[in-house]
Amino acid sequence: MTDRRRINGPPEGTTPLVFPSGSTHKSMIKRSPTTLRRIFLKTSLTPPATGSAFLELPTPSCPSTPTLKLTTSVYGPRPLPSSTTFSPNARLTAELKFSPFSTPGRRRGYIRDGVERDLSAQLSLALGKSVDVGKYPKSAIDVFVSVLDCEGGLGDPNDVKSSGVEVGLMSVLAAAISCAGAAIADAGIECFDLVAGGVAGLIKKRDGEVEGDRIVADMGIGGGNDDSRRGGERDTRITLVLDPSPTEDYIILAAAAVGYMAARDELTLVWTKGSMARNCDGTDEVESLIDGAIAAATGVRLVINEAIKERLLLGLNAVGLVRGTAGGDNGDRTVG
Amino acid sequence: MATAPPPPSNPLSFPPATFQKLAPKTFLERHLQSTPATRPSGRGPDTFRIPSLHTNSLSHAHGSAVVRTGDTAVVCGVRGEVLSLAVGTGGRIVVLRSGEDGRRENEEGEGDEIRERALVVTNLEMGTGCTRDYHPGPPTDFAQAVTARLHRLLLANKLIPSKSLRILDPNTEEIKAYWVLYIDVIVISLDGNVLDAAWASILAALRSTKLPQAYWDQDTEGVVCYPEVSRYKPLGIKGLAFTASFAVIDLGAEKGGKVILSDPDEFEEGVCEERVMVCALEGERVGWIEKGGGVGQVAEVVECVHRATERFKVWEQLFAKVLGSSG
Amino acid sequence: MAPLQTSQQTGTPLSPAELSYLHTSLTLTPPIRPDSRTPTQFRPLIAESDILPSTNGSARMIWGDGGECVVGVKAEVEKNSASSGGPRDWVEISVEVSGQRDDDAFLGMTVAESLLVPESGVLERLALGERFHWKVFVDILLLTPPLSHPATLLTLTTYLALRNTFLPKLVSEVAEDPVFDDDWDNALPLYPVDRIAPPITLLVVSVGENIFFDPTREELAAGDVVLAVSICGKKVVGVRTLEGGGGGVGRAVVKRVIKESCEVAEEVFGSLNSVGEGD
């Protein structure tokens, strides 16, 4: 059915581009598995909103490599519409939307699809548990996340991917949690703690070697699609990688995303994908994945702290008064 | 203009923010009556907000631009998809009227293919939490109206040469398919005058757009693109056109008459009824004028046109600076 | 008890005082559940398989609280096409909740994610020679949604249906157009007994030090954290957080929940596999 309230394309429908061969090339890995990518986070970039934040993963060396960009705006606490029933707590709703041009392959429509609804639900869950909802009865807190650009790996049919778990949605969700956490703090809404998102993955190299703490990076671009399943030597070369990226050249066997409150050492959200053995030579893959994701979230938390502190100091200088603000400054140095 | 006459002995006083909320019209009028006339934002009536522009920061769009004027920020992404003309594609046989597929290279034939086949799809999304009043969901009337105006402007100005949207069979030089440009504008932050910012972002994104070189492949009966980035081609956008929006407020004959506010922000848009929009072209020409919401002198519109031509130069310089190097 | 609200999203069904009472009784050692079950005990349920003769596999389950779920699995032969997304598109899952306009995004995603987990080997069994494959449609119909969260009901029924899904045996060569054996007795199971079984999702709620399985609606509201743990064979294939409770939980709790789920899952698999044997 066509959307009559928007301008639609030709009625015959259009097709996304077709390239002669699988021309998507994966970037080489230059990070060590425990290094997080740098994050650019800035608050208050949407002045009409009560609080807002912009998060970006800076583009790596090759400019054509996709990166992640999203903006968040927070409105509230504002009164619930009169039609809704009484609520003793604040109702937090989160809406995550991919922009039409944000994903590889087909253009995304404007109407929310299942993926977006699922991510929105998980996002509001992760945020809702960090906000002191009891402080704001009969109020609504609305969080809007717009994904402007993402790295792919969303499990879309047009995504070229041979095997493994799609980690793109998890990266988007984790970034959205971090960005929204910063935006909620920017809005001055009382929280138990700041929530940050983190992702960890168990990966297998396509055809390279994993050696101790470093991954050898001298491998051909785009090769190895055919022999990825070669030999079935699955359990030999598995590494835990923090903040895995769908653009990097490895097979992700399993991944976990968490929403984590570092100061309280508590989780607000757990989401895992892929099969994880319970007791594989003494180590539990589920536990190490969750721990890895928590470590990633702890790293992100430091960035959020800085962004909020910067903003707070700016505000204090402008107003010229010092208040006892709940910035969540305690325990922000709990790097695992 | 005494809306709230306070007793002179004990004047009732409000902080400015409260005053603005209680009596927005009076608030704006008082500001404009001061000398020199200043708007609540600190700008003069004829001052536009300073624009900033970034292009090609998105990886999955063929062209993109971020435009920020004051607290209004928009992102525009242009993405090409292929409309195949092969018979029966999409369950519909395309019947061409005589002359429609004839290669009329003269000026007036250019825009027709784009219009008739809907090769340009413009949309504006405001349901992003850009401002307090917009919620996700279907676009509001205002968003639809702005979208329609943008779309009309784009078609009317004939900026996109239809030649660059044709995909030919390499052997017979026959048109086998068209590029369809999906132009999506996402409003990140809204503080009035979304039209100017959105239009500038569309223009910048179109000028930065590079489509892969595509050809009709006989074997697969489909359009195939060369993956090499070096073979990506720009659209060849012709000329520049920039819009300038104005809001007009009537202070009354004794207090200075009508004041034209350039580039109104959200608050001013809410107060003023009368609007003017001028689309200025190169060489001090005018492409489009919209005026409504009140009755005004012709001189008023002439003043707007003058301001729009000045504004055109500002945008032109910005575009030359940002896009000049990238071609 | 406070009247239950009809929509699942409109807050807790209990008043703050009732919630606090329930929370306290659930934190006791040993805990007291309102229906006096043990923490790992499931509510009684009726399960039957092979109820729809026109499907390749089907099952029905009726939960104690009135929830009823029917799952039908149909398989069709489809030509491999280059444009589609490959094996990922070979299984189509649709969840329909009666009386609800939109299907719950979460339910579909959970089932799809755990069912299509790499290495489960299902997709390999769907290939038919070089040019064709089976396309499997899993239609999940929640006739009456249970008062508690439907995830467990849904996946247990799906498990039963998939477990009883048979595909006709291929008799043609790899390169030919597929021709099948018309004797249903020779049909091959989609999930052979010696291979990894389909996944199930268990809803687990943690209150204080205690962990409860198959929580009721009220227990979901009183819990600290609600996790949906998907288990396939002996492996965890997915963990998701659900609405319920307030505040975060320590990582130790989450890990313990996952660990215990694996243990309970084995029992569940055992009892599910005995369904149909008694008929």
Segment C242-262, tens digit of pLDDT: 876 667 888 888 888 988 898
Total tally of structural domains belonging to chain A: 1
| B 228-257: CB under 8 A from A | 229
pLDDT exceeds 80 at position C216 = yes
Average the pLDDT over B288-298 and give the result: 88
Beta bridge partners of A51: A74
Tell me if chain A has a CB within 8 Å of the CB of C11.
yes
Taking an 8 Å cut-off on Cβ atoms, the answer to whether A118 and C106 are in contact is yes
> Which of A87, A261, A274 lies nearest to residue C11, judging by beta carbons?
A87
Instruction: Please give the angle made by the CA atoms of B78, B80 and B82, to the nearest 5 degrees.
Output: 160
Question: From A129, which residue of chain C is nearest by alpha-carbon distance?
Answer: C247
CATH of domain C7-273: 3.30.230.70
Question: From A18, which residue of chain C is nearest by alpha-carbon distance?
Answer: C83
Question: What b/e readout covers B40-78, taking b as 16+ CB neighbours within 10 angstroms?
Answer: bbebebbebbebebebbbbbbbbbbbbbbbbbbbbbbbb
pLDDT exceeds 80 at position B165 = yes
| Residue A195 confidence (pLDDT) | 93
In order, the DSSP letters of chain C are: -PPPPSSSSSS-SS-HHHHHHHHHHHHSSS---TT---TTPPPPEEEEE---TTSSEEEEEEETTS-EEEEEEEEEEEE--SSS-GGGGGEEEEEEETT-SSPPHHHHHHHHHHHT-TTS-HHHHHEETTTEEEEEEEEEEEEE--SS-THHHHHHHHHHHHHT-EEPPB-S-SSSPP-B---GGGPEESS-TTSPPPPEEEEEEEETTEEEES--HHHHHH-SEEEEEEEETTEEEEEEEES-SSS-B-HHHHHHHHHHHHHHHHHHHHHHHTTTT--
| Residue A236 confidence (pLDDT) | 52
| Residue A217 confidence (pLDDT) | 34
Identify which of C200, C181, C166 has the alpha carbon closest to the alpha carbon of residue C52. Answer: C166
In order, the DSSP letters of A40-75 are: EEEE--STTSSEEEEEEPPP-SSTTS---EEEEEEE
Cα(C71)–Cα(C55) distance, rounded to whole angstroms?
10
> Which of B92, B132, B136 lies nearest to residue A12, judging by beta carbons?
B92
Taking an 8 Å cut-off on Cβ atoms, the answer to whether C248 and A117 are in contact is no
Cα(C243)–Cα(C246) distance, rounded to whole angstroms?
9
In order, the DSSP letters of B3-68 are: SS---SSS-----HHHHHHH-HHHHHHHHHHSSS---TTS--TTPPPPEEEEE---SSSSEEEEEE
Cis previous bond, B6, omega within 30: no
Taking an 8 Å cut-off on Cβ atoms, the answer to whether A192 and C232 are in contact is no
CATH of residue A171's domain is: 3.30.230.70
| Residue A253 confidence (pLDDT) | 84
Other residues' Cβ atoms within 10 Å of the Cβ of residue A148: 26
Cα(B188)–Cα(B185) distance, rounded to whole angstroms?
9
Range of the domain at A221: 40-312
Taking an 8 Å cut-off on Cβ atoms, the answer to whether A45 and B188 are in contact is yes
Question: Most B CBs within 10 Å: which of A1, A14, A44, as the mutation test of the B interface?
Answer: A14
Q: Tokens 């519909």, residue?
A: B92
Subunits with 3+ Cβ pairs within 8 Å of C are A
pLDDT exceeds 80 at position B97 = no
Of A10-24, B220-234, C144-158, C229-243, least confident by mean pLDDT is A10-24
| B 296-315: CB under 8 A from A | none
Beta bridge partners of B217: B222
Residue C18 structure tokens? 């009732």
All residues at 6 or more sequence positions from C93 whose CB lies less than 8 Å from its CB, including other chains? C108, C111, C112, C115, C138, C140
Instruction: For chain B, give percent helix, strand, coil, nearest 5.
Output: 30, 30, 40
Instruction: Please give the angle made by the CA atoms of B306, B309 and B313, to the nearest 5 degrees.
Output: 145
Tell me if chain B has a CB within 8 Å of the CB of A156.
no
A42, A182 in Cβ contact below 8 A?
Answer: no
| Residue C243 confidence (pLDDT) | 76
| B 158-187: CB under 8 A from A | 180, 182, 184, 186
| Residue C277 confidence (pLDDT) | 61
pLDDT exceeds 50 at position C135 = yes
| C 207-246: CB under 8 A from A | 225, 227, 232, 234-243, 245-246
Question: Most B CBs within 10 Å: which of A4, A7, A97, as the mutation test of the B interface?
Answer: A7
Segment A242-274, tens digit of pLDDT: 988 877 777 888 899 999 999 999 999 999 988
Q: Is B43-323 CATH 3.60.21.10?
A: no
| Residue B102 confidence (pLDDT) | 44
Query: Distances from the Cα of A278 to the Cαs of B137, B193, B254, C258, in angstroms?
Result: 43, 58, 84, 9
pLDDT exceeds 80 at position C19 = yes
Q: Tokens 């404009």, residue?
A: B32
Element (H or E) spanning B259, and its range? strand B258-262
Taking an 8 Å cut-off on Cβ atoms, the answer to whether A272 and C106 are in contact is no
Segment A272-293, tens digit of pLDDT: 988 887 655 556 788 889 999 9
Question: From A64, which residue of chain B is nearest by alpha-carbon distance?
Answer: B59
Determine the 3-state secondary structure of B285 from DSSP. Answer: strand
- Measured in angstroms, the CA of A332 and the nearest CA of chain B are apart by 30
Segment A117-160, tens digit of pLDDT: 889 989 998 998 899 888 899 899 999 999 998 887 776 544 44
Length of chain A: 336
B196, B247 in Cβ contact below 8 A?
Answer: no
Element (H or E) spanning B188, and its range? strand B175-189
Query: Which is higher by pLDDT, C263 or B116?
Result: C263
Question: Most B CBs within 10 Å: which of A1, A2, A4, A12, as the mutation test of the B interface?
Answer: A12
pLDDT exceeds 50 at position B169 = yes
Helix (DSSP H) and strand (DSSP E) numbers for chain B: 7, 14
| Residue B5 confidence (pLDDT) | 53
Segment C164-187, tens digit of pLDDT: 899 888 888 777 788 888 888 888
Residues of C in contact with A129 (CB under 8 A): 245-248
Q: Provide the mean pLDDT of chain A.
A: 77
Q: Provide the mean pLDDT of chain C.
A: 81
| Residue A108 confidence (pLDDT) | 84
| Residue A49 confidence (pLDDT) | 92
> Which of C84, C108, C118 lies nearest to residue A163, judging by beta carbons?
C118
| Residue A145 confidence (pLDDT) | 94
pLDDT exceeds 80 at position A211 = no
Cα(C247)–Cα(C224) distance, rounded to whole angstroms?
7
Pairing type for strands C225-232 and A250-261 reads: unpaired
Segment B25-78, tens digit of pLDDT: 999 988 898 888 899 999 999 999 999 999 988 888 999 999 999 999 999 999
> Where residue C195 falls among pLDDT bands split at 50, 70, 90?
confident
Taking an 8 Å cut-off on Cβ atoms, the answer to whether A276 and C237 are in contact is yes
| Residue B301 confidence (pLDDT) | 92
Residue B111 structure tokens? 């825009």
| Residue B107 confidence (pLDDT) | 46
Of A1-10, A112-121, B197-206, least confident by mean pLDDT is A1-10
ipTM above 0.90, yes or no: no
Percent of chain A with pLDDT over 90: 33
Taking an 8 Å cut-off on Cβ atoms, the answer to whether C119 and A275 are in contact is yes
| Residue A327 confidence (pLDDT) | 39
Would the pTM of this model clear 0.95, i.e. be above it? no
Instruction: Please give the angle made by the CA atoms of B282, B287 and B292, to the nearest 5 degrees.
Output: 135
B166, A111 in Cβ contact below 8 A?
Answer: no
Query: Which is higher by pLDDT, C82 or C19?
Result: C19
| Residue B309 confidence (pLDDT) | 94
Of A66-75, A103-112, A287-296, C34-43, least confident by mean pLDDT is A103-112
Cα(A48)–Cα(B310) distance, rounded to whole angstroms?
28
Residues of C in contact with A85 (CB under 8 A): 10
Tell me if chain A has a CB within 8 Å of the CB of B266.
yes
Question: From C89, which residue of chain A is nearest by alpha-carbon distance?
Answer: A157
Query: Which is higher by pLDDT, C84 or A293?
Result: A293
Tell me if chain B has a CB within 8 Å of the CB of A76.
no
| Residue A112 confidence (pLDDT) | 81
All residues at 6 or more sequence positions from C3 whose CB lies less than 8 Å from its CB, including other chains? C13
| Residue B154 confidence (pLDDT) | 92
Cα(B224)–Cα(B231) distance, rounded to whole angstroms?
13
Taking an 8 Å cut-off on Cβ atoms, the answer to whether A19 and B224 are in contact is yes
A308, A186 in Cβ contact below 8 A?
Answer: yes
Query: Distances from the Cα of A218 to the Cαs of A68, A207, B276, in angstroms?
Result: 25, 11, 61
For chain C, the structural domain boundaries read 7-273
Sheet holding B285-292, edge to edge: B258-262, B241-250, B274-281, B285-292
- Measured in angstroms, the CA of A256 and the nearest CA of chain B are apart by 26
| A 23-62: CB under 8 A from B | 23, 45-49, 52, 59
Tell me if chain A has a CB within 8 Å of the CB of B90.
yes
For chain B, the structural domain boundaries read 43-323
Element (H or E) spanning A238, and its range? strand A238-242
| Residue A329 confidence (pLDDT) | 37
Segment A151-199, tens digit of pLDDT: 877 765 444 444 567 788 899 999 999 999 999 999 999 999 999 999 9
Query: Distances from the Cα of A131 to the Cαs of A182, A188, C36, in angstroms?
Result: 12, 11, 34
| Residue A277 confidence (pLDDT) | 76
Burial degree of A165 (CB within 10 A; 0-12, 13-18, 19+): buried
Residues of C in contact with A87 (CB under 8 A): 11
Asked if residue A322 belongs to a domain, the reply is no
Residues of A in contact with C84 (CB under 8 A): 157
Tell me if chain B has a CB within 8 Å of the CB of A17.
yes
Identify which of A105, A241, A75 has the alpha carbon closest to the alpha carbon of residue B60. Answer: A105
pLDDT exceeds 60 at position B109 = no
Subunits with 3+ Cβ pairs within 8 Å of B are A
In order, the DSSP letters of B136-181 are: SSSPPHHHHHHHHHHHHHHHHHT-S-GGGGEEE-TTT--EEEEEEE
A260, A294 in Cβ contact below 8 A?
Answer: yes
Taking an 8 Å cut-off on Cβ atoms, the answer to whether A157 and C89 are in contact is yes
A174, A239 in Cβ contact below 8 A?
Answer: no
B199-208, C123-132, C136-145: range with highest mean pLDDT? B199-208
Taking an 8 Å cut-off on Cβ atoms, the answer to whether A273 and C113 are in contact is yes
Query: Which is higher by pLDDT, C117 or C181?
Result: C181
Phi, psi torsion values for A117, nearest 5 degrees: -65, -40
pLDDT exceeds 60 at position B8 = no
Taking an 8 Å cut-off on Cβ atoms, the answer to whether A286 and C258 are in contact is yes
Question: Most A CBs within 10 Å: which of B59, B123, B141, B206, as the mutation test of the A interface?
Answer: B59
Segment A46-67, tens digit of pLDDT: 998 999 999 998 766 566 677 8
Average the pLDDT over B273-289 and give the result: 92
Tell me if chain A has a CB within 8 Å of the CB of B223.
yes
Taking an 8 Å cut-off on Cβ atoms, the answer to whether C254 and A85 are in contact is no
Residues of A in contact with B185 (CB under 8 A): none
